[in-house]
Structure 1
Amino acid sequence: MGKSNLKTVMQLLLVVVIVGMGSLLARRPAHADDQSLNRVKQSGTLTVGTAPDYPPFEFQVNKGGNQEDVGMDIDIAKQIAKNLHVKLKIKNMSFESLLVAVQSGKIDMAIGGINPTPERKQNADFSKIYYSGGQDFLINKNDAGQIKNKNSLRGKKVGTQTGTLQQSLAKKDIPNAHVVGMDKTPDLVLALKTHKVAAVGVEKPVAQAYVANDHDLKAIDSGYKLNKNDVGTAIAFKKGNTSLVNAVNQSIDQIHKKNLIPQYLKDAGKHMKVNTNNTSMWHYWKYFATGVEYTLIISVVSVFFGIILGIILVLMRLSKYKFLSWPSIAYTEFVRGTPMMVQVLFVYFGLGVLVNIPALTAGIIAVSLNSGAYVSEIIRGGINAVDKGQSEASRSLGLSKKDMMASVILPQAFKNIWPALGNEFITIIKDSSIVSIIGVTEIVYELNIVRADTYRGVAPIAVAMILYFILSFSLSRVLNYFERRMNHD
């Protein structure tokens, strides 16, 4: 069997192991003796996942530079935790990660304007409907004369949040419409205001919230013919967590009995007005400062461990023993052949089922593992670039292979690859934004929070671009300084 075939076999085996592991985790049966409610009470904490970019359901307010989760859904979660006599712990992440977090046990329940569609019910349990608001379209006010309802959108571009009911309804009920899916509602609104889409499908309270804070927008009724599930939102749970679902349903019944939903919406409206009183980017400087801090932490730690892993991988690859070189080749090719976003999700949710890894730690692990594969190839290129005469001279002096590599080859290789390593560091700074998908704070995560809070689409993006440029430019100057020092030496 040739070397290329062996490498292919190793890659396929690695894929089979990972896919098989994911399948086993996904198919693990629920415990016959459901202890979900007891686990929450014994831990004393109810962990709730949400995506805080969907006012008035859930969003964040800036109180003295500190972030606080607020909104109707947050108030409901607080009431549920109060009834269970436990503390509430909120985990923020992207909307598309909520159900995965529930299934993998990262959170006890997910709340975030989630519609309990038949497809979602196959993979998660749901509470009773706690709110029914209906569906609207956001449009530019200047287009109000042309767009009246869904029938007016025939053949036009319609924006929806990816993986939501609004996306399914638009695809099904608007003939010849080109449905544009995006992950964040603020991105959709920005696309609407820049005429990239003709309308954005959202729930009525969300449409009303945007219209109240942006006079260039108008909300119109969708015109969809909806059943009960289409107009309702519920709380998602892991399959088989019946006792916890029943306890939450009792809280929902109590909330409806006391008619607390209108008060929750009213409170959300007050918070939204606080956010829009001062929408200057300077008012949110602590948000961006926090994002820069965590971006640097993730980047520095990931590059450090990435270099260590890269050295190990390249030494394995250069080994004469096939049982060391083949795994190194397979790992490098596999990691370089898969998106970092998928790797981040797998480390946090896949491996997280076996080991409860915090989001920040999971993000650093994933970025480090990814960086290690690229660094190993950079180092290998540097080693190959070292003149063969250096090896011959080392052997003539009686140096062992280990000493030759540590004292002669690697120092010269690092001098050769310093610019490439610098580029890898800069790339990691920019690519660290991917970890925001699992709720890790960094620049892009804070950018989306500020956009949702202030209803300003472009200004937060401009601030983030400037911050990334400052970080990258400053790092490149430092790297160039040390490169000149090495060349001088």
Structure 2
Amino acid sequence: MNRLKSLAVLFAVTLGLVALSGCKQTDVLVIEKSADAQHARIGVMTGSTSEAIATQQFPQAHIQSFDNVADAFGALKSGQLDAIITAYSTSLLLVRRNPDLRLLDERLSIEDTAIAVHKGNTELLTAVDKVISDLKAEGAFQSMSRRWFKTGPGPYEQIDVPLPDTGAPLRVGVSATREPFSFVDENGRVSGHDGDLARLIAQRLNRPVEFHDMKFLALIPALQSGKIDMIVTGMTATDQRRKFVDFTQPYYANSQVMMVRNWAAGVGPAAAEPGFWDGLKESIESNILAENRYLLLWEGLKVTFIISVLSTLFGTALGGVVCFMRMARSPLLQVPARIFISVLRGIPVVVLLMLIFYVVFASVNISPVLVAVVAFGLNFAAYAAEIFRTGIEGIETGQTEAGLAMGFSRKKTFRLVILPQMVRRILPVYKGEVISIVKMTSIVGYIAVLDLTKASDIIRARTFDAFFPLVLVAVLYFLMSYMLIVLMDWAEHRTDPRRKTRKVSAT
């Protein structure tokens, strides 16, 4: 009954959040030209050139950095920002889909977009440069610009690029939340201008292509560590980036512009909003049903569940070993266990994840999902070891002495007397750590894993609905956590020795 009440409360809260997502603040600075934004709240994408432009040209403004444009867009729509600085092609797409936004006429900068390769890899750099030169001479870039950088509505014009099935794959790093440069289409493949470009380059080099979709900030570390061969995702060839990677010749000149609310057109505060149920229906259609996006959510949900469960199992087993070492009398066992626990509890999980992927396994061809399981499992083990130790030390020493007096060995005493009591004592805290693992998996997008949060990012990058996908994913995370808690409660009930005693008494 209590669980039904919890689900009812969750449903009510969800409806409230969706309703609130339609509420918009109107106390926003009106910007008619870039000079009006000197004291504005400006959103940029972390690690992008727009971040540098905002800092240099608007030193008195409040700059807020986001992982992707969709997050900044949501902040602008809700009134948390006054403006966004981003690429013209992306801004044009946003304005076309959202009449309550507009672009300022000014160009804040014009930059060369190029392909990044590992520093010193002159062979690949020369080969890709030649392909770009050939594509320019053949007019391929004009064709791609016409198909992807559209100024009007309508579907994109897709082309088929035949690729070989054998050979060493060309590993291409992308941030597929940057439509129309790179995004995940209805078939679940990386598409867009740079998706086509990567396939054309792979075709000319007679190699299959393998896309690695990750957060923009993680692209250069992935290239430096050898996890990918090149970056093709609308990246500007800045002097700072040239210190770490090599760039090909430019293939596109992209301008940075400022996007603001379209108050002057009368679309802003006085705009009529759809009703709650109509808005909910529209959100479900565009975010879940359109282009079979529920399949993307399903894949992300499966990956999140797999990582959570395997990390918990691995971390529990390793935590038991570390606990044994931590409680041993020998310093040769105790000191390493203390160091392990201190280091793993002191390192943020996202840093640990990237260190393991880009440093420890830099030269190893290993599944990012397996790396995530190892990273989260190590983190879980550090906390589980201390939970186990506290549970064991909380049991009176007389329990062990009683077991030994009855003729049990120390191992049998621990298994039959100490362990069952320890499990009952630690379960509340242990369950909390399991739920923490589920929530921590939301960062695996940094190593190109399609989890539930990454699926939400991909959907938001296509629909530019900043709220509904987040609310939906929050509900899915809750349901997954709730299911795991129910499962652990059932296991606790089944293994409770008092249950057997009650059964015997009843008979």
Out of 120, 137, 140, the residue aligned to residue 240 of structure 1 is 120
Contact 2:308 2:441 in 1 (8 A): yes
Question: Does residue 372 of structure 2 align to residue 363 of structure 1?
Answer: yes
Question: Given the two structures, how large is their TM-score scaled by the length of structure 1?
Answer: 0.66
* 1:238-274 Cα deviation digits (max 9, x unpaired): 1100111111111111222223223223333533798
Out of 480, 498, 502, the residue aligned to residue 471 of structure 1 is 480
Q: What aligned pairs does 1:277-426 form with structure 2 within 5 A after superposition?
A: 279-283=286-290, 284-426=293-435
Matches of 1:144 and 1:319 in 2, distance apart?
62
In structure 2, do the counterparts of structure 1 residues 314 and 231 end up closer, same or farther at CA, with 3 Å as the change threshold?
same
Out of 28, 32, 47, the residue aligned to residue 148 of structure 1 is 32
In structure 2, do the counterparts of structure 1 residues 317 and 143 end up closer, same or farther at CA, with 3 Å as the change threshold?
closer
Quote the residue 2:144 is aligned against. Answer: 264
Instruction: State the percentage of identical aligned residues.
Output: 28
Q: Which amino acid aligns with 1:349?
A: Y
Matches of 1:251 and 1:143 in 2, distance apart?
51
Matches of 1:154 and 1:398 in 2, distance apart?
81
In structure 2, do the counterparts of structure 1 residues 282 and 388 end up closer, same or farther at CA, with 3 Å as the change threshold?
farther
SS at match of 1:155: coil
Matches of 1:280 and 1:464 in 2, distance apart?
11
Matches of 1:379 and 1:391 in 2, distance apart?
16
Gaps of 5+ in 1: 1-139
Q: Which amino acid aligns with 1:441?
A: L
Question: Given the two structures, how large is their TM-score scaled by the length of structure 2?
Answer: 0.64
CA drift at 1:143: 11
CA drift at 1:357: 2.3
Matches of 2:388 and 2:126 in 1, distance apart?
57
Quote the residue 1:250 is aligned against. Answer: 130
Root-mean-square deviation (Å): 2.5
Q: Which amino acid aligns with 2:76?
A: L
- Aligned pair count reads 345
Out of 225, 231, 234, the residue aligned to residue 111 of structure 2 is 231
Q: Which amino acid aligns with 1:362?
A: V
Matches of 1:304 and 1:263 in 2, distance apart?
52
SS at match of 2:286: coil
Quote the residue 1:451 is aligned against. Answer: 460
Quote the residue 1:59 is aligned against. Answer: none
Matches of 1:296 and 1:333 in 2, distance apart?
28
* 1:426-453 Cα deviation digits (max 9, x unpaired): 2211111111221111110100011111
Question: Does residue 204 of structure 2 align to residue 195 of structure 1?
Answer: no
SS at match of 2:114: strand
SS at match of 2:478: helix
Out of 34, 44, 50, the residue aligned to residue 166 of structure 1 is 50
SS at match of 2:103: strand
Out of 439, 446, 454, the residue aligned to residue 437 of structure 1 is 446
Quote the residue 1:183 is aligned against. Answer: 67
Q: What aligned pairs does 1:27-176 form with structure 2 within 5 A after superposition?
A: 146-176=30-60
SS at match of 1:353: coil
Gaps of 5+ in 2: 1-23, 157-178, 187-281, 501-507
CA drift at 1:383: 0.6
